[in-house]
Amino acid sequence: DCELSAHCVDGFYCSPERICAAAGTSTEGEGCLTTADCESGLICAAGAFWTECTVPGGGDIGADCTTDLDCVAGLSCVTPTGGVPACVDPPPAMAGTVQPPVLPPWSGADCATDASTPTAYFEVPRGDGMDGDFYRLPFPNDVRRTSSGLSLDGFPTPDTAVSDDVVGRHVSAVESDLGGFSTNPTLFFRFSEPYDWGSLDGSIRLVNVDPDSPDMGQDLGLAWLTTGGQISRYICPNFLAVRTGHGSPLAPDTTYAVILTTQIVNESGASFERSPDLDAMLAGSAPSDPALADAWEAYQPLRDWTGSGMGIAPASILNASVFTTQSEARYDLLRDAVHAADLPAASELVACADGAASSCDDGTVARNCEGADGTVVTEIHGRLSLPIFQEGTAPYETPEQGGRVDLAGPSVVRTEDVCFALTLPAGATMPAEGWPLLIAAHGTGGSFRTALGSGLAEAAASIGAATLAIDLPQHGDRRGDSTQPP
């Protein structure tokens, strides 16, 4: 019998049945289902993306804890009824009943109810600790633009619920890397109580309000999503989501407004009250509150539009978000750098045929020449030397591994020999101008042979076209030393 894994000899661990059992072989950072998969001294715990073998903490019996990671191997972090979480020696489990570790619970955004009358929320953050939940200010919103990027203060992240706050890292990157918002945005508006879905028709407008745009004043197509109740831990209940029409992106570096009119009512048919902060945004003079004064400047395009004769009366506006899309200029520089680079060199070419060994063969059908014979295509494997603009080390899984791209002056950091598969119509004569080419991209867990496995190669061959596919990032040998799934 055992209480701790330290009570067992090397190569064993204290199992849930509270006996010393042979430990597994997975090393630190490798995936696991239970601690039985991990080598001696490690435990299986929830990581940022999956459960993985991890070095446990040093908490002995009775020590305060948050998760099992705070306790020595063999103990569990348990919260007694009405008590404080502590490391304990759990009772023996019955064989076959052991469950994999689960992510600790995260309550999500703090959803306070404080409006005594039906209200359409529009609350400009003051940064004084009294701000409500993040989406009380419609988002995206130019109020959150700064001189250096974006401010997403208050965005909820499960930073204490997981070992690595992946969401928080993305939020920080967005704040520093972006100066505008998506050209395919979804906008979120919150209400203090449920709204009448039937009152939305004809009550939402998406308008170009950019004075420098030739399309200033133009209404655009949109769609919306109605919600009821708590459906997300990131946004509180009673939100309305508005998005652009499918396949109709907005122009880059352009200012737009999404406007909700006072026709929107609650489920009882009563009107919603407009938030005082939005009253200040629509007023003709700047408010004295410094936080509101900065936000007021961001809403100048909306005020100009409503006063131009093209817009609607300010009194008809229940809520509104003014937002500016990202500039594409930085990405033009990246495209130009790709075009200026030398053409990728092909190497290790192999025509898949009976007995041929692919240069990318790893012993699986996803990466060898198996199945290439007897088809309507000729399959060629090889490697292309592709330019890499990301700094650091693949797979860029942690901040220490980097992953930054210098979009202000992109340059090739290194090249990478990437596996590819080219398929040609078998037995056909190539046209003088070459084969039409279909470029295929695999999904997560796929490979450079995706065109053959999906039937695309055969379909292309039937109309006299070739296909080309490569190993996409985080697949094949484009993953550095990582052993985690893509």
The pLDDT, as a whole number, for residue 371 is 77
130 or 71: whose pLDDT is higher? 71
| Averaged pLDDT, 86-99 | 77
437-439 β-sheet, strand order? 346-351, 377-388, 414-425, 466-470, 437-439
Q: pTM of the predicted model, to two decimals?
A: 0.76
Q: Is the dihedral of CA 383, 386, 392, 398 positive or negative?
A: negative
Which residues of 57-155 form beta strands (DSSP E)? 76-78, 86-88, 119-120
CA 19 from centre of chain: 42
**pLDDT, tens digit, for every residue of 231-260?**
899 999 999 999 998 889 999 999 999 999
pLDDT at 103 > cutoff 70: no
| Averaged pLDDT, 102-119 | 80
pLDDT range class, residue 116, cuts 50, 70, 90: confident
Contact status, residue 428 vs residue 443, Cβ threshold 8 Å = no
Phi, psi of 477 (to 5 degrees): -100, 25
CATH architecture of 119-324: Sandwich (2.60)
Contact status, residue 231 vs residue 175, Cβ threshold 8 Å = no
Contact status, residue 137 vs residue 88, Cβ threshold 8 Å = no
Contact status, residue 39 vs residue 30, Cβ threshold 8 Å = no
Long-range contacts of 337-346 (CB under 8 A, 24+ apart): 337/387, 337/389, 337/410, 337/411, 337/412, 338/387, 341/387, 341/412, 344/384, 344/385, 344/386, 344/387, 345/384, 345/385, 346/382, 346/383, 346/384, 346/385, 346/420
Q: Six-digit token pair at 226? A: 């109605």
What is the full DSSP assignment across 29-77?
TSB-SSGGGBPTT-EEEE-SSSEEEE----B-TT-B-SSGGGB-TT-EE
CA dist 225 and 258 (Å) reads 14
CA dist 72 and 13 (Å) reads 12
Give the residue from 221, 246, 150 showing the smallest Cα distance to 137. 150
Mean pLDDT of the chain: 90
The pLDDT, as a whole number, for residue 228 is 86
Q: Six-digit token pair at 471? A: 């190993």
CA dist 113 and 191 (Å) reads 10
pLDDT range class, residue 330, cuts 50, 70, 90: confident
**pLDDT, tens digit, for every residue of 283-311?**
999 999 998 999 999 999 999 999 988 87
Q: Which secondary structure element, helix H or strand E, spans residue 172, and what is its range?
A: helix 166-177
What is the total residue count of the chain? 486
Rounded to the nearest 5 percent, the helix, strand and coil shares of the chain are: 15, 25, 60
CA dist 297 and 287 (Å) reads 10
Measured at the CA of 189, the angle between CA 185 and CA 191, to 5 degrees, comes to: 165
CA dist 309 and 138 (Å) reads 25
CATH 2.60.40.1220 maps onto the chain at 119-324
| Averaged pLDDT, 414-440 | 95
**Helix, coil or strand: residue 340:** helix
CA dist 259 and 269 (Å) reads 20
pLDDT at 373 > cutoff 80: no
pLDDT at 162 > cutoff 70: no
Give the residue from 253, 254, 256 showing the smallest Cα distance to 328. 253
CA 315 from centre of chain: 38
The pLDDT, as a whole number, for residue 97 is 61
Of the candidate ranges 41-45, 130-134, 420-424, the one whose mean pLDDT is the lowest? 130-134
Of the chain, the percentage scoring pLDDT greater than 70 comes to 96
